[in-house]
Each structure stands twice: as C-alpha cells, then as structure tokens.
Amino acid sequence: MSPTSLDKSKIRFLLLEGLHPSALQVLQAAGYSNIESLSGALPQAELIERLADVHFIGIRSRTQLNAEVLAHAPKLVAIGCFCIGTNQVDLQAAQEHGIAVFNAPYSNTRSVAELVLAEAILLLRGVPEKNAVAHRGGWLKSADNAYEIRGKTLGIVGYGSIGTQLSVLAEGLGMNVLFHDVVAKLPLGNARQAANLNELLAASDIVTLHVPELPSTQWMIGAPEIAAMKPGAILINASRGTVVQIEPLADALRAKKLLGAAVDVFPVEPRSNQDEFVSPLRGLDNVILTPHIGGSTLEAQANIGLEVADKLVKYSDNGTTTSSVNFPEVALPAQRGKHRILHVHRNVPGVMSEINRVFSDNQINVAAQYLQTNERIGYVVIDIDAASSALALEKLAQIPATLRCRVLF
Ligand SMILES: NC(=O)c1ccc[n+]([C@@H]2O[C@H](COP(=O)([O-])OP(=O)(O)OC[C@H]3O[C@@H](n4cnc5c(N)ncnc54)[C@H](O)[C@@H]3O)[C@@H](O)[C@H]2O)c1
Ligand SMILES: O=C(O)[C@H](O)COP(=O)(O)O
C-alpha cells in the first residue's frame, strides 16, 4: 500500500519575522525539513510571490495576510500566528479558502503585564524625562510630580488574559484596580468593573489598554477620552496601534494634561529593524516609546514557538484543529490501517449528502467520521480503507462546495 500523504520533505514552511528557534525544532522533530526562515516581514508583492508554493506560513504581528494575499496562496493549508493578535490576518478570507489559523493566546500575557507595571512605576517617578535630561548633561533632582504606585488607581480597559494578569500583579503592589470591558467579567481580588469607559477614565491615575484590534476598538481613545482623564494621569497602550489617536495624545502630553505615556504599538510600525520609526511622539521626554516588544521576552517567544509549531504539526499530521481561531474544532485519534480524508467545505445545504454519496456510490466503507461546522464552513474528518482513499479524494474534490481536501497516512 503506497502512502498518499504529501511527502514531508515536500511540505513547505515559510517562517517570517524572526520566530524563536523552538518553532524550527518542533517542526524538524516532527520530520519537516523544507523550512525557510526569514528575520523580517515581507512586502505584499514578495509575499504573494513566495506564497505560490507554500503549505504553512508562520508570522507575527507585522505580516499582513489580507484577502488579496490569501487569494494568491493556492497551496496554503494553515497559518500560524506566533503571537496573540490575529488582526493581521483576514480570518474570513482564510476561512473561505479553507485555510486554518492558529495562534498562542496566552504565552506572552505575563511579559506584557510586567512591562506595563514597570512603565507605570517609571512614569509616576518621571524617570523617562529625568533620564533624557541626564543624557543631555542636565540634573533634574526633584520630588515634584514624583509618586509611589501604592494607593494609585489602575484603570484597565479590556479585562481579558492580559488585563486580569495585570490586575492581580497591580493589587500585589497596593494599587486599586478598576476595569472596563464590554463583557461582564468576574473581578479578581478587590478589582471592580466600572459602569462604563468614562467612569474609568475619570477615576484612574493610570489608564492601560488591553483590547484587541476590532472595528469597535478603532480609535476608541481620542481627544474626548483624553479630556475625560484626570489631570496628571498616565496612558499606556500595549494593545494595538489603531486603538489610540496619536495626535491628540501628543497634544495632551505637550500641554502637560497627562503626566506621561508609554506606547508600544503604533498605527504604522516599521516593517523591520532597518526601517525608520516615524511618530509625532518622537522627542517627547515624558513618553516611553518601545518598538512593539510587549510580548518580546525570550521566555514568551520560546513558549510561543513550541505552542504554535505544535498546533501546525498536529493539523498537518492528523487534521486536529483544536483551538484554531477560525476553524471548527475537530480532534480524532488515528486508526491503524486507515487513511484519513480532511475535507473543508462551504456550509451549504446538502453538502454532507453529496460527501456521503461519494462513499455510498463507490462502496467505500467509512470507519469514522466527525463533522464540525460554523456559520460559513464545515470541516469533516473521515477515516476510510486505505485502498479507496485516492478515488475518494478525486471524487470529493469535484464537489462544488469543496474548499480544500487532502488525505493523510
Ligand atoms: N504589545 C504587545 O506585544 C502585545 C502582546 C500581546 C497582546 N497584545 C494585544 O493585546 C490584546 C489583548 O490581549 P489579551 O490576550 O488580553 O486578549 P483577550 O482577548 O484575552 O482580552 C481582550 C478583552 O478585551 C475586551 N474587549 C473587547 N472589545 C472591547 C471594548 N470595545 N471595550 C472594552 N473591552 C473590550 C474583551 O471582552 C476581552 O475581555 C491582543 O488582542 C493583542 O492585540 C499586544
Ligand atoms: O499579538 C501579540 O501577541 C503581540 O502584539 C506581539 O506581537 P509580535 O509577535 O509581533 O511581537
């Protein structure tokens, strides 16, 4: 019996944006060798060119996999976002092409929370400004506008994985925690959910943002929201660059309405370390500017490499889609002596009858079948006799609603 899965040496992986070597190690240990790793993101035209024969791509937050790029990726089976955010991928277009998307939803939450707390402490003491002045030969020894973090109110916008982790750490430092979320959330410790964003803005000494990039979070902090903050408050954004309007923020910092700010993410970010960083916030001494490194610790990156690479291997090797962000979740144990068909299809009436007709019309015995659907697509894993898999694959590929179809083992 000949193996029907594509030979592992022919399965191409393209890893972008300097993924941690742990990702490569997981892929190699699973038998994959056709792997190209690049340190930066690619411009759209080059991305499209390279995706022509790539089966799996690994990216971080910079690589834009929009509908046009995905339309030019005929062999792409899955995308690994080696980070939390998946806003850089058009998840709906990926679904429509039958491409599964995976991420690492928890691996860098601690790293972000630690950075935010460190920034809050430094900004409350005026350290960024005092440091900048000292570098220019000045000496700003003064207790003016320098405060302890103990007893201050931290306002967390978005009480998810990062927001809750931060909440616990902040209370450990003696802070009061207020949070705002669109969903009613169980407060941890003594934290309290604010009635709305304005209540949080008016009551917080430090406002920190931890919402995903969504249409509803775009530019959610602009001039009116900054005006609603306490005079002398601090704003921290380590979420996404589209959440805060930069010009009103720069104005408020210049006018000393805000004591300081820490910004890790920007509406436009350089594609690589070789490109220039351009921002109206440059040159403001009371602002900590960091190059999108909230999740960039070796611990987080190593864990992300292991987690996402493992998800790609499991999907490639046996079709498991557990914790995919855009695919129905299916996990079936492998069966000895059987071949496995993975069929992704548009979720339209009658499609399962057509699929099952392939087996009944061709007298193919089905040993196991597992279907999961969401609004748009269905994903069915079918184990059948090895001798029939080539015929089944050919017939299933002809069903008009088929998006992707492959056979394993
Ligand atoms: N700077 C970095 O390096 C870095 C690292 C990790 C994550 N991030 C960003 O941080 C974001 C948050 O990460 P997370 O793991 O905590 O995500 P999460 O999904 O666990 O939590 C997000 C929370 O925001 C809430 N939310 C959504 N829309 C909202 C709105 N309009 N107003 C208030 N709350 C709203 C959600 O209900 C959820 O509780 C990620 O989506 C990512 O974009 C940045
Ligand atoms: O979404 C995330 O996890 C962060 O924004 C980190 O992105 P990065 O991997 O590009 O640093």
Q: How far apart are the CA of 217 and the centre of ligand 1, in A?
A: 10
* Matching residue, tokens 């220019």: 136
Task: Quote the strand ranges of 137-275, DSSP E.
Answer: 153-157, 176-180, 192-193, 206-209, 233-237, 258-263
Assigned token pair, 3: 């193996």
Which entry of 240, 339, 343, 404 is annotated as an active-site residue? 240
Phi, psi at residue 115, to the nearest 5°? -65, -45
180 has catalytic annotation: no
Say what the pTM is: 0.94
Instruction: State which of 59, 84, 273 you would mutate to test the pocket of ligand 2, scoring each by most atoms of that ligand within 8 A of its C-beta.
Output: 84
- Ligand 2 pocket: which of 59, 108, 109 to mutate (most atoms within 8 A of CB): 108
Note the pLDDT of residue 7: 87
Report how far residue 389's alpha carbon sits from residue 386's, in angstroms, rounded to the nearest whole number: 5
The ligand placed nearest to the CA atom of residue 60 is 2
Residue 325 C-alpha to ligand 1 middle, in angstroms?
15
Protein residues with CB under 6 Å of any ligand 1 atom: 84-85, 108-109, 112, 157-163, 180-183, 210-214, 216-217, 238-240, 264-265, 292, 294-295
Q: What pLDDT is stored for residue 4 in this prediction?
A: 57
- Cα(20) to centroid(ligand 2), Å: 13
Among protein residues, the one with the nearest Cα to ligand 1's atom 3 is: 294
Ligand approaching nearest to the C-alpha of 264: 1
What's the pLDDT score for residue 1? 39
Is there a common fold for 1-103+297-327 and 110-289?
A: yes
* Spatial separation of the C-alpha atoms in residues 270 and 283, rounded to whole Å: 18
Q: Which two tokens stand for residue 341?
A: 């068909």
Class assignment of domain 110-289? alpha beta
Give the single-character DSSP code of 221.
B
How far is CA 285 from each of CA 124, 218, 394, rounded to the nearest angstrom? 13, 26, 64
Paired strand residues for 81: 59
Distance in Å, CA 39 to ligand 2 centroid: 15
Q: Give the pair of three-digit tokens for residue 280.
A: 């109206």
User: What pLDDT score does 332 carry?
Assistant: 82
Fold of 328-408: Alpha-Beta Plaits (3.30.70)
Strands (E), 51-142: 56-59, 78-81, 100-102
User: HSE of 71 in the Cβ direction (CA atoms, 13 Å)?
Assistant: 4
Catalytic (active site) residue 292: yes
At the fourth CATH level, the homologous superfamily of domain 1-103+297-327 is: NAD(P)-binding Rossmann-like Domain (3.40.50.720)
- Which ligand has its closest atom nearest to the C-alpha of 208? 1
Do residues 174 and 149 lie in contact, with contact meaning Cβ atoms separated by under 8 Å? Answer: yes
In the reported structure, the alpha carbon of residue 158 is separated from the centroid of ligand 1 by a whole-number distance in angstroms of 6
Structural contact between residues 60 and 39, judged by C-beta atoms closer than 8 angstroms: no
Given this model, what pLDDT does residue 311 score?
98
The parts of the chain modelled with pLDDT lower than 50 are 1-3
Q: Separation of 407 CA from ligand 2 center, angstroms?
A: 33
Tokens of 67: 């509908």
240 is catalytic: yes
Helix 351-361 × helix 389-397 angle, to 10°: 150
Nearest atom in ligand 2 to 104's CA: 3
Q: Show the ligand 2 pocket: residues with CB < 6 angstroms.
A: 60-62, 83-85, 108, 292, 294-296
Question: Could you tell me which residues are beta bridge partners of residue 328?
Answer: none
Q: How far apart are CA 147 and CA 87, in angstroms?
A: 37
CA 92 to chain centre: 15
Looking at all shown ligands, the one closest to residue 103's CA atom is 2
- The amino acid that residue 123 corresponds to is L
3-state secondary structure of 329: coil
- The per-residue b/e assignment along 181-213, b for 16 or more CB within 10 angstroms, e otherwise, is beeebeebeebebbeebeebbebbbbbbbbbeb
pLDDT of amino acid 2: 43
Rounded distance between C-alpha atoms, residue 248 and residue 262, angstroms: 15
**Residues sharing a CB contact under 8 Å with residue 256, sequence separation 6 or more, in sequence order:** none
> Nearest to residue 254, comparing CAs of 129, 124, 127?
129
The atom of ligand 1 lying closest to the CA of 83 is: 6
CA atoms of 320 and 342, how far apart (whole Å): 10
Kindly give the distance from the C-alpha atom of residue 114 to the centroid of ligand 2, in angstroms, as a whole number.
15
Question: According to the model, what pLDDT value does residue 335 have?
Answer: 79
Ligand nearest to the CA of 104: 2
Out of 210, 216, 269, give the residue to mutate to test ligand 1, the one with the largest number of ligand atoms within 8 Å of its CB.
Answer: 210
What is the spatial distance between Cα 54 and Cα 36, in angstroms, rounded to a whole number? 10
Gap from CA of 202 to ligand 1 centroid (Å)? 21
Question: Residue 179 in contact with residue 159, Cβ under 8 Å?
Answer: yes
* Boundaries of every domain in the chain: 1-103+297-327, 110-289, 328-408
For residue 162, the ligand 1 atom closest to its alpha carbon is 16
Neighbouring C-alpha atoms within 13 Å toward the C-beta of 376: 12
Strand partners, 235: 207, 261
pLDDT in tens, 200-254: 999 999 999 999 999 999 999 999 999 999 999 999 999 999 999 999 999 999 9
Residue-level pLDDT at 301: 98
The catalytic residue among 96, 171, 269, 354 is: 269
